[in-house]
Structure 1
Amino acid sequence: MATPHPDPITLVVHCAVITVSDTRTLETDRSGQTIQQLLQSAGHQIGAYDLVKDEPMQIRSLLEDLSQRSDLDALIINGGTGIAPRDTTYDAIEALLEKTLPGFGELFRYLSYQEIGSRAIASRAVAGVFRSKLIFSLPGSTNAVALAVEKLILPELRHLVSQLRTP
C-alpha cells in the first residue's frame, strides 16, 4: 500500500470528539475514549468532548456551536451512521457539509469490508467541511472507530487542516 508524502509541517490539530448515543455515558463510551487516545498519542489536542442523544436537532445544534470555536480544527463524531430508525447522524450533518470528501466514506467501507464483509454496506460514514472545520462521522463501534482513525484520519489530518488554512 502506498503511503502519502510526508507533511512538511508539524501541526497540532485541535479536535472535538462527539459521541452520538441514546445509551452511552462518559464512563461507558469506549469509542469516544478510543478516538481521544489515538489522537493524543499522535500529538493532537482534544479541545472538547461531548455526548449527545441521537436527535438530529441536538446533533446539528452541537455541531453549529462547536464549528464557531476558533480553537478547534476538526470535529470527529461517532455513532448513528447506520440505517436503524434511531440512526440519524448522517441525516443531521449531511446537509450542513459545504464540501464533502467522498473518498473517506468509500475507503472506510472498503477497509470495513475487509474486516466485516458485506455488512460494511450499511455504514453511512461521511466526511467533509463545515465552516472551515473538518468533520468526520464514524460508526459507533470501537473497532470501526479505531480503523477509521488509524488508517484514514491520522494519516491525512494534518494535511487536510493545512489545506483549510491556506488562503
Structure 2
Amino acid sequence: MTNIPHSDSQIMTVTCAVVTVSDTRSESTDKSGQLIQQLLRDAHHKVGAYTIIKDEPAQIQTELEQLGKNSDLDAVIFNGGTGIAPRDTTYDAIEKLLEKTLPGFGELFRFLSYQEIGSRAIASRAVAGVYQSKLIFSVPGSSNAVRLAMEKLILPELSHLVSLLR
C-alpha cells in the first residue's frame, strides 16, 4: 500500500490567505504564519492575503466572512487557537460557518501528531472544510504542527481539493 496521493492531471497554482490567530504574536514573531507562507511559495502557490488577528470569536468569524467574499482566493489557512484553553476559540468560531467539513483532515492530523507528540495530540481541534466555495484549514499555531499539516496533508491535496470546488 502506498500513501502517495494520485497525481493531478494539471499543475494548479492556488491562491491562499494565511491568518494567524494570536493574542501575542506580531508580524516579526509570527514564525508559524511565515512558515505557512514560505511553504506555499515553495510549492508554487500564491499568498493573496496575510493577517494576524486576536483570538476573539467575532473577529475570527468576521475575518473568514470577509475572506469568503474575496474572489481572488481559493483557500484560507488559519493557524492558532485550536486547543482547549479558554482563549482557544478558532475551532468554535470557524466550525459554525463551514458549509461542509472534511473530518478526515482533523482525524489524520491528530493521527500524525500522535506519532510525533504522543497522547497530547488529543487536545488538537484542527479542522478543515468549505466556506463560500473556498477551502478552509485551521491548524495549531506551533511551527511543528504547521509544518506537519502543510507537508503531510495540505500541500499534497491543495490543488486537487480546490479543483473539486471549481
If the TM-score is normalised by the length of the shorter chain, which range does it land in?
over 0.9
Instruction: Structure 1 unaligned segments of length 5 or more: list them.
Output: none
Question: TM-score scaled to structure 1, two decimals?
Answer: 0.98
Runs of 4+ in 1 over 6 A off after TM superposition: none
1:2 is displaced (CA, Å) by 1.9
- Give distance in 1, aligned partners of 2:67 and 2:10: 25
Partner of 1:87: 88
1:48 is displaced (CA, Å) by 0.1
Alignment pair present for 1:45 and 2:46: yes
3-state SS of 1:135 partner: strand
Alignment pair present for 1:147 and 2:148: yes
Partner of 2:125: 124
- Give distance in 2, aligned partners of 1:66 and 1:2: 32
Cα displacement string for residues 95-132 of structure 1 (whole angstroms, at most 9, x for unaligned residues): 10000000000000000000000000000000000000
Letter in 1 for 2:121: A
3-state SS of 1:48 partner: strand
- Give distance in 2, aligned partners of 1:83 and 1:96: 19
- Give distance in 2, aligned partners of 1:5 and 1:74: 21
- Give distance in 2, aligned partners of 1:91 and 1:148: 19
3-state SS of 2:23 partner: coil
Question: TM-score scaled to structure 2, two decimals?
Answer: 0.99
- Give distance in 2, aligned partners of 1:23 and 1:141: 13
3-state SS of 2:146 partner: helix
- The Cα RMSD (Å) is 0.5
Q: Percent identity of the aligned residues? A: 73
Q: How many residues in Structure 1 have an aligned counterpart in Structure 2? A: 165
1:10 is displaced (CA, Å) by 1.2
1:160 is displaced (CA, Å) by 0.1
3-state SS of 2:16 partner: strand
Letter in 1 for 2:7: P
Instruction: Structure 2 unaligned segments of length 5 or more: list them.
Output: none
Partner of 1:162: 163
